[in-house]
């Protein structure tokens, strides 16, 4: 019986090798044409800029066989247009979605009948990078730290307002979670984008805003803006004096904006692995590190397996935040 078991095992191993050989051959010949990065943002938006910076470095690799990496902008419908274009693309590794958190986690959770499911319809390729998200207040509010902020808002319920880039965005969800965890009442004023909410915040039209560091850094230096907390697991090396929400005793306040590379679900694993490796190599070049850090983004480059864990975690975090906020998209 033992000999038979070994023989059967060898037979299956042989069949597995034969079955996987076409995929391996595909990976060895990949890419056979230019790679397309689809971005849901207009030119100059986060995923557009990240895609172009990454694609430029990837194209310089000998493993790309002389083929270019091009970015195609498909804005609209909250990222659904770009996402569905990739879902329906040929699963050969030549079309990827460069996705922000809205694409990868939030947008489908806001819909009663989402057109795609990230964990079902995409193959995780790599977590490209993350940035930190800060609770910022206009200095005209007159508070210097979290305790003073909480005391002021609790004493004046709904007197002060916060801005977001729209209902259901990470800015909206993070603030609603903070309000619940800390027992605060702040009025929500949604804008169409951070290009509108940030100027409104600086002008004093709203007093509170979750923001990336780069967007408000010049105004921190002048004292117009103060950072009270960071919604990440650890403090930032850029502003190490800003405490995390966990340090302040506020639980479940981990909101980390991120950028992802996703392929159609049926993309062969050897091709996904090759793409993941090329992205990691590109992100490790000194030029890429310098350019990403200038944008306030920590370049990462993960394995597909690590990326899947991150996507799954994001789904859990934002499902709770969306339910709490009551945000919906028709």
More confident residue, 131 or 28: 131
Query: Is the pLDDT at 2 greater than 60, yes or no?
Result: no
- How much of the chain, in percent, has pLDDT values that exceed 90? 79
Report helix, strand or coil for 16.
helix
- pLDDT of 17 reads 53
Residue 1 has pLDDT above 50, yes or no: no
236 domain residue, yes or no:
no
Is 12 within the bounds of a domain?
no
Task: Give, as one character, the DSSP assignment of residue 62.
Answer: G
Whether 62 and 112 map to the same domain: the answer is: yes
Q: Which helix (H) or strand (E) holds 201?
A: helix 194-202
The pLDDT tens digits for 52-80 are 999 999 999 999 999 999 999 998 888 89
Q: What confidence tens digit (pLDDT) does each residue in 270-318 have?
A: 999 999 999 999 999 999 999 998 888 999 999 999 999 999 999 999 9
Domain-embedded: residue 19: no
Same domain flag for 100 and 147 = no
The CATH number of the domain holding residue 56 is: 3.40.190.150
In a domain, residue 246? The reply is no
Answer whether residue 330 shows pLDDT above 70.
no
Do 82 and 163 sit in the same domain of this protein? no
* Residue 210: per-residue pLDDT: 97
Residue 36 has pLDDT above 90, yes or no: yes
Rounded to whole angstroms, the Cα distance separating 282 from 58 reads: 5
Q: What is the pLDDT of residue 164?
A: 93
pLDDT value of residue 85: 98
Average pLDDT of the chain, as a whole number? 91
Average pLDDT over residues 33-62: 94
CA distances from 62 to 58, 66, 237 (A): 9, 7, 34
Total count of residues recorded for the chain: 330
Q: Are residues 213 and 150 in the same domain?
A: yes
Q: What mean pLDDT comes out for the span 216-227? A: 95
Can you spell out the DSSP letters for 134-174? Answer: EEEEEGGG---SHHHHHHHHHHSTTTSEEEESSTTSHHHHH
Residue 170's φ and ψ, nearest 5 degrees, are -60, -35
Contacts of 137 (CB under 8 A, 6+ apart): 143, 149, 207, 208, 209, 225, 226, 228
Diameter of the chain measured on Cα atoms: 81
Q: List the CATH number of the domain containing 225.
A: 3.40.190.10
Q: In this model, does residue 176 exceed pLDDT 70?
A: yes
Q: pLDDT tens digits, residue range 9-28? A: 444 455 555 555 666 777 78
Has residue 78 been placed in a domain?
Answer: yes
- Do 125 and 140 belong to one domain? no
Range of the structural domain that residue 36 is part of:
32-130+257-325
- Residue 171 tokens read as 């800015």
The predicted structure's pLDDT at residue 4? 40
Domain assignment of residue 126, yes or no: yes
For residue 116, pLDDT over 90 is answered with yes
Q: What is the pTM of this model?
A: 0.85
Between CA 208 and CA 186 the distance in angstroms is 9
Least Cα distance to 225 among 245, 201, 244, 243 occurs for 201
73 and 105 part of one domain: yes
Q: Please say if the pLDDT value at position 101 is more than 50.
A: yes
Residues 6+ apart with CB under 8 A from 216: 134, 136, 198, 201, 202, 209, 225, 227
297 contact partners, CB below 8 Å, separation of at least 6: 50, 129, 130, 131, 259
Q: What is the reported pLDDT for 14?
A: 54
First to last CA, the chain: 62
Read off the pLDDT of residues 78-94 as tens digits, 9 standing for 90 and up: 889 999 999 999 999 99
The SS3 assignment for 204 reads coil
Question: What pLDDT is recorded for position 241?
Answer: 96
């Amino acid at each position: 019986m033992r000999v038979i078991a070994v023989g059967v095992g060898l037979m299956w191993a042989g069949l597995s090798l034969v079955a996987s050989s076409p995929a391996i051959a595909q990976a060895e010949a990949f890419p056979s044409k230019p790679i397309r990065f689809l971005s849901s943002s207009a030119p100059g938006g986060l995923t557009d800029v990240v895609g172009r910076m990454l694609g430029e470095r990837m194209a310089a690799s000998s493993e790309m066989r002389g083929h270019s990496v091009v970015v195609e902008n498909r804005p609209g419908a909250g990222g659904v247009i770009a996402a569905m274009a990739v879902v329906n693309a040929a699963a050969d590794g030549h079309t990827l979605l460069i996705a922000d958190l809205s694409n990868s986690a939030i947008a489908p959770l806001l819909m009663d009948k989402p057109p795609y499911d990230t964990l079902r319809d995409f193959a995780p390729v790599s977590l490209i990078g993350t940035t930190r998200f800060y609770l910022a207040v206009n200095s005209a509010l007159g508070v210097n730290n979290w305790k003073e902020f909480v005391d002021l808002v609790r004493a004046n319920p709904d007197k002060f307002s916060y801005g977001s880039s729209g209902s259901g965005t990470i800015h909206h969800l993070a603030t609603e979670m903070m309000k619940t965890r800390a027992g605060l009442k702040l009025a929500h004023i949604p804008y169409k984008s951070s290009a509108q909410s940030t100027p409104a915040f600086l002008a004093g039209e709203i007093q509170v805003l979750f923001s990336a560091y780069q967007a408000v850094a010049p105004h921190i230096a002048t004292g117009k803006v103060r950072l009270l907390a960071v919604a990440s697991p650890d403090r930032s090396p850029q502003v190490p004096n800003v405490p995390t929400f966990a340090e302040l005793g506020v639980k479940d306040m981990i909101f980390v904006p991120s950028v992802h590379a996703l392929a159609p679900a049926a993309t062969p694993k050897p091709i996904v692995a090759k793409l993941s490796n090329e992205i990691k190599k590109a992100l490790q070049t000194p030029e890429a590190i310098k350019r990403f850090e200038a944008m306030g983004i920590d370049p990462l480059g993960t394995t597909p397996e690590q990326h899947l864990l991150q996507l799954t975690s994001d789904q859990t975090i934002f499902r709770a935040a969306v339910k709490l906020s009551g945000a919906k998209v028709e």
